[in-house]
Amino acid sequence: MRRALGAAAGTLCLAAVVAGTSVTAASASTTASNIEHFRFVSTSASSPRASAIAWGAFTAGGTINTNSGLIRFPPGTFRAIHHRTSSVAQLNRKSCLFTAVEHGTYRLAHGTGRYRHIGGGGKYTSRVRAVLARNSKGKCSQSRLPRAFQQVINAWGPVRGVSMSRLPLRWAAPARSGR
């Protein structure tokens, strides 16, 4: 369990925006239209795979490997490489509630498919909450998987090298009934 929570707290990061490099500064001419938001959600302390959703400059849904930072969306892949700047963890020994918060920066690189030219970076916040299992003496166990686990990572920053999503110029007319 200690290993699982340690991995979760370490992964905590843009957990998925993992690998450990600092971010290049965004240019001063960055506009709001190229700001990308990412949310990674996991409910498993033992699996590195988490749900991934991106919106802003482009919209996509897929998965992230929180160990490697590899993000998979249908039209390609890319890596989110993070650098932790601060973290805090607490364990309430009465309720066995573990909480951890991590802040840092990330950069995007190594794209394939539609994301082959991706670049950019930004900031992230990772939050973990877990209810630890209790051992035979009733104490919080760090050697067993938690009874419940949630990790949410929010990241945001400018992105470049990806064609922006566009709405169709004309919306389809509603289907008419045959009456």
Question: What 3-state class would DSSP assign to 5?
Answer: helix
- Per-residue pLDDT tens digits of the chain, which is 179 residues long: 444 444 444 444 333 333 333 333 333 334 446 999 999 999 999 999 999 999 999 999 999 999 999 999 999 999 999 999 999 999 999 999 999 999 999 999 999 999 999 999 999 999 999 999 999 999 999 999 999 999 999 999 999 998 655 434 344 445 555 55
- For position 20, what pLDDT does the model report? 33
- For position 14, what pLDDT does the model report? 36
| Helices and strands per DSSP (H, E), number in the chain | 1, 8
Instruction: Of 32, 34, 44, 17, give the one whose Cα is nearest residue 155.
Output: 17
> Which amino acid is residue 12, in one-letter code?
L
pTM, rounded to two decimals: 0.75
The DSSP element (H or E) to which 65 belongs, if any, is: strand 60-65
Using CA atoms, how far residue 70 sits from 41, 116, 129, in Å, is 14, 13, 23
- The tokens for 10 are 């370490």
